[in-house]
Homo-oligomer: A and B are copies of this chain.
């Protein structure tokens, strides 16, 4: 396993692998790896001859007053976990190399996909995500890139971006990995106090409850959404949204159609902003 910080070197290595007929699999992360990331790496290992992990805490996807400065980082620990997953190359660039002096280019997915839900709460977030993912895909030039489904909206935005920009890559979404009590794994779970950590699975259980009631035929989405938000508030969360959406477009479902639905939630608990979702059908 080798760590590369230089962009040109990384690109040259991946281009050479491609030219030699190797399949390149890529897992982009912000580091502080957990079992969710490792599930992506294991699937990447299965799919690729060359497995590339990137670790980059991307400043452009953090808004003013968000947690860029205190986002958890531990490269040595990440490196050891990557080695256990048989990662071939870790791409670990500096911020100044990714966004050099004079940098001015941004990739935008416009419209509801990026302006609703998380996009409404964090207006510049997805512009930062799509820009850095486009850059990373251009540097690593993978055949397949793997993302977790925990950030469901992000995955939808990235699928849209790669399709629209004709990027020659297969985007794979992998299932959410959960703690035993149902809490979706996240680097940001580190922010929770012991007491908050005990309450945190209420987010998952609330989504399960909404999903069960939808399966049972309840059809008043707004009542389900506001009831779930109230449940979260009662447990000390500050919910940004609980939303039942079309799983493909993230639009409000038009009645009880046959399109797959997803329940998405984002809520602050103490210093952590937690997200989770559940797909129906």
| A residues with CB within 8 A of B | 7, 11, 15, 18-19, 21, 103-111, 113, 130, 134-135, 138-139, 141, 160-161, 164-168
Q: Are B105 and A164 in contact (CB under 8 A)?
A: yes
- In whole angstroms, how far apart are the Cα atoms of A166 and B15 in the complex? 13
Q: Which residue of B lies closest to A136 (CB)?
A: B166
Q: Which residue of B lies closest to A105 (CB)?
A: B164
Q: Are B105 and A160 in contact (CB under 8 A)?
A: yes
Q: Are B141 and A107 in contact (CB under 8 A)?
A: no
- In whole angstroms, how far apart are the Cα atoms of A130 and B162 in the complex? 16
Q: Which residue of B lies closest to A107 (CB)?
A: B107
- In whole angstroms, how far apart are the Cα atoms of A192 and B130 in the complex? 43
Residues of B within 8 A of A110 (CB): 104-106
Q: Are A138 and B164 in contact (CB under 8 A)?
A: no
Residues of B within 8 A of A107 (CB): 105-108, 165
Given contacts A19-B21, A135-B165, A165-B134, contact A109 B113 (CB under 8 A): no
- In whole angstroms, how far apart are the Cα atoms of A93 and B155 in the complex? 28
Given contacts A18-B19, A19-B18, A21-B19, contact A11 B104 (CB under 8 A): no
